Structure 1
Amino acid sequence: MSVKTLSATMATLLLALSGAQAQADTPNYYECKGDNISVSFYDKSYGIGSSQLNFAFGNKKYTADGKGIESKATTLGTVTSTTIKFMPDVEIKKASFIIPTINLGVNSLGEVVSEAKFTSQLAITTIATPFIGGPYIGVVNSSKYFDLTCKASLIFIHF
């Protein structure tokens, strides 16, 4: 019996003993690449330390952690963002990317799924905040979108 067959057999046996049809975990690490762009995000939900979000646009790099990361659940998935530029009374620039809902684990066939590939987009949004009397006229939140190919996985940190 091969190691893969043995693992699948053991997983199936464990599922049968637990009475569940499948087990699932949410990934906590995401890596994405696009045209001259890279994004990585570690979500501390399943670990220690703090969440960390990294963006690279060519040779410009941005890092955010903890409270500098915003996450909002939507029907598209979780929009994860950070502020990359703040100029009072002029503009705020945010970098955001979408993480779809993903389950990893043992599927109903007993196969272990340890990573998932998906496509997403990175949005660089400029929020106009000029110091003027009255409301800003024009597109207030203009965005540029970049296609990404991504991989989600579940990592564990041990000391």
Structure 2
Amino acid sequence: MGGSAPRGGCQLPVETTGFVDRRDEQAAGRELLAEARLVTFTGPGGVGKTRLAAHVAARVERAFPDGVRYVALAGLRDPALVPLAAADALGLHDHSERPPLDTLVERLRDRRLLLVVDNQQIADRLVIARRTAEGHVERILGKLGFSNRSQIAAWVTARR
């Protein structure tokens, strides 16, 4: 993963058809990105999570001076390859004996970069402790003023 650090620029999938509405979801995505380091779009396959994430990322590109990059994990079978896929998307190549994740973290630690990581089974691929993910979700929900699931359900119901 040597070479120069990531530079600005937006490298996202190209939209081949128009993006219709979803203004509320777009606004929520932009707001969450302004507040949190980890934002996850979830839902059943085929509902447009990837397109929504790419669309939101393209709209907030200016907030990330080191760029916006897309990491596709669809073909990966081994979770150990996730850091290598991210490094490849960033144009970072390392030929040292260091673990790829350590090198990737070191290279990105001080960067203001947005990574859009895409895969329907992303939770199965990423090496992140459930407790860490739950902590992120808890902090995000707290910032949004929610303390339990019933509050979230009431908010969603009220918005329909």
- Shorter-chain TM-score: what band? under 0.3
Query: Based on CA coordinates, which of the two structures has the bigger radius of gyration?
Result: 1
- Indicate the structure whose relative CO is greater, using CA pairs within 8 Å and at least 6 residues apart: 2
Normalised to the residue count of structure 1, the TM-score between the two structures is 0.24
Structure with the bigger percentage of strand: 1
